[in-house]
């Protein structure tokens, strides 16, 4: 195509690209076996019709979770440290808990976990993102929320097992972001939550991150 006034080629209009999004697949499950029934989650083995054949996949059948990025009025994020046996580390995390109460909405789980893990309540709640943690190995989905307007909860909760010696730190959100990129903070839910919160606050003109 040519512009008659300038005799120069005119680029054809290109359609706007579709927004990228995960795509549901209705693959038929031919057989599903409970391989192991655990205290918190189970292991299943599914035989699935896929393409021209069948595949067998074992995975952790997970109830899902909710997690909280709690940010105070000084722009600090609350991090917690506790022992995680599979990785043999006391890693830094954000408050989180399982969706293990029937009928409880993720935001209510987030409110409950903030109170139970760190004895705080929040007056402002915003959904941040929802993520699949390890889609090749489990079906866990984690819903992350930004909590602001923090104050002490009415009750202090007793803690046991890994939570018995839990450590709390209020960290400037810029320092938490730096720790993620330096490889010192490697918990995936923490990383996604802190980066999402930093971007949300930056967009609102509140964050000191870059």
Q: Mind telling me the catalytic residues?
A: 163
Angle at 142 between CA 179 and CA 163, to 5 degrees: 65
- Rg of the Cα trace of the chain? 22
In angstroms, the CA 22 to CA 182 distance is: 29
Residue with tokens 């699935």: 48
- Dig out the tokens for 175 from the structure: 């320092």
Residue 38: count of CB within 10 angstroms of its CB: 9
The set of residues, in sequence order, having a beta carbon less than 8 Å from that of 111 and lying 6+ positions away, is 121, 122, 125
Sign for the CA dihedral angle at 157, 163, 169, 173 comes to negative
């Amino acid at each position: 195509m040519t512009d008659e006034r300038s005799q120069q080629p005119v680029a054809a209009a290109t359609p706007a690209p579709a927004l990228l999004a995960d795509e549901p697949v209705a693959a038929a499950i031919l057989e599903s076996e409970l391989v192991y029934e655990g205290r918190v989650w189970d292991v299943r083995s599914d035989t699935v019709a896929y393409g021209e054949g069948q595949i067998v996949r074992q995975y952790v059948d997970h109830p899902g979770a909710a997690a909280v990025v709690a940010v105070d009025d000084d722009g600090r994020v609350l991090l917690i440290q506790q022992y995680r046996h599979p990785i043999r580390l006391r890693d830094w995390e954000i408050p989180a808990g399982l969706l293990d109460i029937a009928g409880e909405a993720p935001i209510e789980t987030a409110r409950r976990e903030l109170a139970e893990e760190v004895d705080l309540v929040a007056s402002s709640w915003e959904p941040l993102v929802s993520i699949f943690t390890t889609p090749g190995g489990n079906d866990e989905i984690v819903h992350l929320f930004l909590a602001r307007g923090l104050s002490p909860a009415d009750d202090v909760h007793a803690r046991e097992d890994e939570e018995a010696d839990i450590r709390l730190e209020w960290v400037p959100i810029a320092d938490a972001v730096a720790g993620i990129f330096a490889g010192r903070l490697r918990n995936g839910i923490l990383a996604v939550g802190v980066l999402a919160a930093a971007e949300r606050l930056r967009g609102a003109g509140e964050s000191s991150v870059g």
